[in-house]
Copies of this chain bind each other. A is one copy, B any other.
Amino acid sequence: MTEKETKKRANLRDVARAAGVSVATVSRVLNTPEAVSKNTRDRVQQAIESLHFVPSAAARAINSGRTRVVGALVPTLDNAIFARFLSALEYELGEFGLSLVVATTAGDPGIEAEKAQRLIDIGAEALIVSGITHSPDFDNLISRTRLPTIATSYYDDGYSLPTIGYDNARASRMALQYLIDAGHRQIAVIHGPADNNDRTRARLSGLLVDMPGLETFKFETKITLEGGATAIQNALSAGTHFTAVMCTSDVLAQGVLFELHRQGMVVPSNVSLVSIDDLPVSGQSVPGITTVHLPVVEMGKKTANAVIRWIEDGIRPDSQLIDVTLKLRQSVAEIT
Where the two chains meet, the residues of A that have a C-beta atom closer than 8 Å to any C-beta of B are 8-9, 49, 52, 54, 56-62, 65, 67-69, 71, 76-78, 80, 83-84, 86-87, 90-91, 94, 97, 99-104, 115, 118-123, 144-146, 224-226, 229, 254-255, 258, 261-262, 280-281, 283-286
Contacts and interface: CB of A to CB of B under 8 A. Distances in A.
A271 to B, nearest CB: 15
B122 A67 contact: yes
B145 A54 contact: yes
A255 B226 contact: no
11 contacts: A54-B120, A62-B62, A69-B101, A69-B122, A77-B87, A86-B102, A94-B118, A226-B280, A226-B283, A226-B284, A258-B284
* Chain A facing B: main interface SS: helix
Nearest to A141: B54
Interface centre among A68, A122, A229 (most CB of B within 10 A): A122
B62 A56 contact: yes
Contacts of A144: 49, 52, 54
B118 A99 contact: yes
A90 B280 CA distance: 25
B87 A122 contact: no
A120 B8 CA distance: 17
Nearest to A54: B145
A78 B77 contact: no
Contacts of A52: 144-146
Give the oligomeric copy count.
2
A225 B280 CA distance: 8
A281 B54 contact: no
B97 A100 contact: no
Contacts of A118: 94, 97, 99
A283 B259 CA distance: 11
Contacts of A119: 99
Contacts of A94: 103, 115, 118
Given A91-B104, A99-B103, A62 B58 contact: yes
A57 B65 contact: no
Contacts of A9: 65
A138 B126 CA distance: 29
Contacts of A71: 99
A84 B90 contact: no
Contact of A102 (B49, B67, B90, B225): B90
Given A91-B104, A100-B103, A281-B281, 6 more contacts: A54-B120, A57-B121, A77-B87, A97-B118, A226-B284, A254-B284
B77 A86 contact: yes
A261 B61 CA distance: 55
Contacts of A68: 121-122
Interface centre among A76, A77, A281 (most CB of B within 10 A): A77
A251 to B, nearest CB: 9
A84 B49 CA distance: 38
